[in-house]
Structures are given as C-alpha cells and as structure tokens.
Structure 1
Amino acid sequence: MDKFNTLTSIAAPMPLVNIDTDMIIPKQFLKTIQRSGLGKNLFDEMRFDDNGNEIPDFVLNQPAYRQAQILVAGDNFGCGSSREHAPWALLDFGIRCVISTSFADIFYNNCFKNGILPIVLPQDQVDVLMDDARKGENARISIDLESQTVTSADGQQFHFEIDPFKKHCLLNGLDDIGLTLEKVSSIDSFEKQASQSRPWV
C-alpha cells in the first residue's frame, strides 16, 4: 500500500448526500477480486449513458477534474453495502482523499485499509472546501496527514481528527498484510518453538 503523507490537488465537488457504494461502483462490476482496473467503472451510472458515452455534465468527465485526487462530498458518503470494491475503484481512478461531514462506518474503515484518507470536517468547513473545488483548476487543496490539517486555496487551515493507529498505518503504507509482516520475526520464532514442542503437528 502506498504511503500517505501530504497531498496537494484539484478537488472534485460532489455535493450529493448519501452517495452509496452502489453509486460508487455498481454491483455488476463486483465479479473481480482484483483491486486494479475498477477505476474505469467508478460512478459508472453517473459517468456514462446507456450507450457507454460519457455524460459531459458529470464532474469527473469535465476536463478540470479528470486528474482530481480529492473528492469533497456531501453527508454520509459511502453508505449502503460493505463492498470493498468501492475504495478500490476510487483509488484506481486516482482518488487518495475524500472530505465529507460524515461517512458510513464500514466504508470509512475500508478506506484506511486501501490507502485512502477519509476526512471528517464540520459543515461550514466542508462548504469552504466545496467552494474551492468548484473553482476547478484555479484552486488546489492541500492535506498534511502528519499535522492533520487541510488547507484551502486561499490559506484557510482546518484541523481534522484521526485515530492514531489508522494514522500510523497510512503514514507508513501498512495494510493488514503489512502490519502482519512487521511481526514476521516473532511469528517465525513462535513457529520454530511450536514445531519443537509439538513435532507431531
């Protein structure tokens, strides 16, 4: 998993509330267990018409936002099912951070396991960043995970809270496998002792 330290990017405004995981990655794309390749289907039903053509009005189809790495979203982002494909699709598209007033719990936790930083801020602060996002290429938002700050295009700085363990994992690029591998010497020692004391196992 890639480390997350700082990020400065154009942010895409998505002010809709209750954006659920089926909107993020529709159910027909859940047949794969590969984390890569899902970005092309991110927000599929909003990005494309029935003939597979891009819908020009959708924010991520607009030239200013095609390279956005941040989403500024409405309340209760990631609600619905627990599919981990939702953060997979966001990450594969290039989104490393989502800012909202609230997230569904399972989606929120899945983000950290996949290298995405979900930031919860009060509504008035999200409104400032949403206004920034609407400026497109004329405004960039900066995020510093170490200091737990978001800085708007005009220099306003907002502090966000984050669980220390989740912060540690993101800063060091540690998913569940990475955390396990940090203990590999202890695991090897245990296995060696176990095989000596119980050779019949």
Structure 2
Amino acid sequence: MAVHLHEEDLPEGVLAPGPVAIDTETMGLITARDRLCLVQISDGQGDEHLVRFAAGSRFAAPNLKAVLADPARLKLYHFARFDLAAIEHYLGVTAAPVFCTKIASKLVRTYTDRHGLKDLVRELLGKEVSKQQQSSDWGAPELSDAQKDYAASDVRYLHAMHAILVERLAREGRTELAQACFDFLPARARLDLAGWPDHDIFSHEAA
C-alpha cells in the first residue's frame, strides 16, 4: 500500500479497470468561493493517488478528467453531493455514474443516526479513521504526511464498504430506491451550484 502525490494531473495508466473511489479536499465548504485543492482516487488495489492543484491552477488535468467522466467506471463516494459539485465546478466534468456510501448507509443503517465515514468504517470494517486533519490548510504549498494519509484514508475503504452496502441494500429491498438517489445526485449537485443548496424545491412551501 502506498500514497502517491501528483501535481495537476493523474499519470496515465496508473489505475486498474473497474470502479474508482473518489474524494476531494477544498479550502472550505462554499464551492464557488473555496477552491478545489486535491482530488483523491483509488482503484481499490491498495494504492491511493492524490492529485494536487495549486492556487491559480487552470485545472486542465486531461488524464484525471478522462477517468472521472468515463461512463463505464462506477465512482464511489462518501457524500457524493459535495464532491460532484466541486469536480463539476472546477474540472468541468460530471463524475458519474455514482454510488454514495453515505446515502446507502442512511437507507440501510436506520438503527443509527451516525453515518459519517469514521462511524461507517468502524462498524462495517472494524478499522479506525482519524479525522484530525479534516479542517487543515489544503492549499498550503506543501502537504504534511498527516494530511496525505488523511486524504488517502478517505478513499481507502470505499470499495470494501461498497460491497457490504450493496448486499445490505439488496437484503432490505432498497436497491432500486438507492439507485434512483444515486442517479439524481449530479442534478442535486448542479442545484447546489445554481443557488439552491438548502431550499427543497420539491416542498409545497414557497421559497
């Protein structure tokens, strides 16, 4: 297992075929204001790749974009809504099709309200994930080893959790419902970007 840091793009041919786990790190939670700093990606074979974008980046990244936009590759996320918006806003691609472990968790782990990545990894896989670096400066000129390990851990376990959650969705008869949610996520991210991050447009109440 190794963590590889790349500048401005993913090297060609470093990923095996099949689903990829995706996460992002930004300067904050407001997508249009807080720039994209890092995209983490893993093919589930043991290595994690971190693609860092410097301040003022043009976000060209043709190799990374090709993977993200590939309709034949399933993209695994935890809270896909945020990552999809950041990727679309800065990289200009829709990183789908989607499987979101947070949504899957909410559909099958109805016995708890704890659906964070740390809680999910602990219950499903018996492993611990540190969130200590979550709020660190991702736009710094140099990333610390702790930052790199934290960023890698966000994609390290998604393939294993995906397999478990697929089984649980089938067991509870919620596979089709989950898929409908996943299919809608790119549109939900676009609503966020277009100015409807909090308002429920499906509600009868006026805006």
| TM-score bracket relative to the smaller structure | 0.3 to 0.5
Q: Compare CA radii of gyration and give the structure with the larger one.
A: 1
TM-score by length of 2: 0.32
TM-score by length of 1: 0.33
